[in-house]
Amino acid sequence: MQRLALPLRSMLRAASLLLLTVCAAAATAQTYPDKPVKLIVPYAAGGFSDALARLVAQRFTESLGQTVVVENKPGASTNIGFAAVAKSPPDGYTLVFGTGAPTINPFLFSKMPYDAERDFAPIGRVADLPYVLFAHPSVPAATFKELIAYCKAHPGKLNIGTPGNGTTPHLAVKLLEEAAGISLQSVHYKGNGPALNDLLGGQIQLLFDGLQQPQPFVRSGKLKALAVASPQRIPSLPDAPAIAETYPGYEAMTWYQLLAPAGTPAPAIAKLNAELRKFIDDPAQRAQLLAQGAVLRGGTPAELAEYTKAETARWGAIIKKNRIQLD
């Protein structure tokens, strides 16, 4: 029998390797997960981010048949939690539930403990939490357009609170100043909680925040909800216009995503994305979160990667233009 020609032998070897890879992927898809999964949350327990992560973890525990354990790793503007996942084995058993902080932090810090583009594998976009522009009743404006007119007539007079320099609400302020041609005095706090307290007390006049905590004060008349920073109005505040109605393209919100370490097997990513979609498509879940001002999103890993790229470019330009640096 003649020996196989070298090219043919190489082709057979490549085909065998491909078959082994396909079989391994199929096995991974069938058996994953076969042990508990750790879900790292780069925030302290108790806030909306933590609560939403725990809802996802509970649903995954029920649908995957393995316990999904939430581990809070707050600190360093979420860098500690994200870095922990970036450095974890890429086996699908360590995930991170976080905001879009990796699209912002590389522009704020001179040294980063992870590479936002290289070190993560996208699973899916979970939800958006649009900001609402709240005002103290003393502000002489009943509508968003009246507020802008007042700000133009009195540049720098109104104070607007933020949860810290370089945070997304702070960048939302800069984006509004640029879009409307106005000037506001940013007052930085250690979180939106203290800022909300000062807004209620009249020490500051404006605040970008999610709807959850301020909503009762809007209902009681202690605060005014003048506009929302989502592309469209939100059902829970139908009378508050979207800022984009006046300034097309304006958008500012906290958005949530699910990521794994780069190199995580594609079957595991696909399975996690499928389970995430089930959570997002649950009508009762959607209604519950919509009442809190959150919009469930979904989509493919590729769509999340594309959205992340666009957000990185958008916020990077704002940060650079305003020369914001945290170290």
CA 252 – CA 36 distance, rounded (Å): 35
The backbone region for 156, taken as left when phi is positive above 0, alpha when psi lies in -120 to 50, beta otherwise, is left
Give the model's confidence band at 245: pLDDT under 50 very low, under 70 low, under 90 confident, else very high: very high
What pLDDT was estimated at residue 29?
A: 56
pLDDT for 20 beyond 50: no
Matching residue, tokens 């000037």: 183
Phi, psi (degrees; rounded to nearest 5) at 187? -115, 115
DSSP letter assigned to residue 39: E
**Amino acid present at 204:** I
Q: Please report which residue ranges of the chain form alpha helices under DSSP H.
A: 6-31, 48-64, 79-86, 105-108, 144-153, 168-180, 192-201, 215-219, 266-281, 283-290, 301-322
The crossing angle, in degrees rounded to 10, of helices 168-180 and 144-153 is: 70
DSSP conformation letters of 201-257: HTSSSEEEE-STTTHHHHHTTSSEEEEE-SSS--TTSTTSPBGGGTSTT---EEEEE
pLDDT for 25 beyond 50: no
CA 218 – CA 116 distance, rounded (Å): 38
CATH H-level, domain 35-128+254-322: superfamily: Bordetella uptake gene, domain 1 (3.40.190.150)
Give the model's confidence band at 327: pLDDT under 50 very low, under 70 low, under 90 confident, else very high: confident
What pLDDT was estimated at residue 21?
A: 44
pTM of the model: 0.86
Question: Whole-number mean pLDDT of the chain?
Answer: 91
Is 269 in contact with 127 (CB distance < 8 Å)?
A: no
Give the model's confidence band at 10: pLDDT under 50 very low, under 70 low, under 90 confident, else very high: low
What six digits make up the tokens of 13? 């070897």
Strand, helix or coil for residue 154: coil
The backbone region for 240, taken as left when phi is positive above 0, alpha when psi lies in -120 to 50, beta otherwise, is beta
Give the model's confidence band at 47: pLDDT under 50 very low, under 70 low, under 90 confident, else very high: confident
Please count the other Cβ atoms lying within 10 Å of the Cβ belonging to residue 196: 21
CA 153 – CA 71 distance, rounded (Å): 49
**Diameter over CA atoms, the chain:** 96
Matching residue, tokens 């919100």: 253
What mean pLDDT is predicted for residues 66-73?
97
3.40.50.2000, 3.20.20.70, 3.40.50.10090, 3.40.190.10: which CATH number matches 132-245?
3.40.190.10
What mean pLDDT is predicted for residues 254-267?
97
Is 135 in contact with 205 (CB distance < 8 Å)?
A: yes
- Where exactly are the structural domains of the chain? 35-128+254-322, 132-245
pLDDT for 22 beyond 50: no
Each residue of 175-209: pLDDT tens digit? 999 999 999 999 999 888 999 999 999 999 999 99
- 35-128+254-322 and 132-245: same fold? yes
